[in-house]
Amino acid sequence: MDETTLPPPADRRSVFMDIYAAFARQHMRLYGSTAQHFAAVAAKNHAHSVHNERAQYRRAYSIEEVLADRPIAWPLTLPMCAPVSDGAAAAVLCTEAGLRRLGVQSRAVELRACTLGSSVHRHPDDLEQHIGRVTALKAFEAASIGPCDIDLAEVHDATAVGEVIQVENLGLAPRGEGGLAAIQGHTALGGRTPVNPSGGLESKGHPIGATGLAQTFVSPVSTNGTDLRL
């Protein structure tokens, strides 16, 4: 290993990358997942970004290219990690009467539920009590829907393993199979449940405070010309 393949010093990367790398290694230990599974998620998201004119990075990667890129914190490489970006996001919330006054009914969507969570006390390996899982179940109940009703999803992917964790928390893939779903094409555009059609934070950029609200807007056009605006 030469200096071109060494991870950058800790003062040149976010400590959150070390935390996510620890989550990745936990997932590998519990479920036998591999770096290839996480690379498949990153490759899928970078492929989506090519079609999003608002993405910060719009380069497609193969799984092999993701794995061969610069290591950040094992098993994460650079394309698996989101850049910290500048950005802003806004949404207009209004009643049906307000929609009529604004004349934007064709772009409106109904907000079925909004559920917030902060933290839970659990054993680190008790992922069924993960705050993402607990909050997802509350949101599904409030919206009177389930995972099978989801057509597409934008989930938090500060790293590729973040998407794996949240896809499993949402029930879009069985526990331990979030990365496998990407390898099998289930979470790609045209798959069973497309995830991060915008390219995800790994490609679109991660403006921190604006990130969550920005995820309510998806890349305007998919690869088959379907309007994906939310």
| Alpha carbons 144 and 153: distance in angstroms, whole number | 17
User: Are 222 and 197 within 8 A, CB to CB?
Assistant: yes
Over the chain (230 residues), the average pLDDT of each successive run of 10 is 51 83 97 98 96 91 97 95 88 85 80 89 95 96 94 94 97 97 96 94 88 71 41
* pLDDT for the residue 39: 98
Q: What CATH architecture is 10-214?
A: 3-Layer(aba) Sandwich (3.40)
Task: Select from 92, 95, 61, 51 the least CA-distant residue to 182.
Answer: 61
* pLDDT for the residue 15: 87
Residue 59 corresponds to which tokens in the numbers above?
Answer: 């380069």
Domain ranges of the chain: 10-214
The residue to which tokens 């045209």 are assigned = 190
At residue 159's C-alpha, the angle toward residues 155 and 160, to 5°, is 75
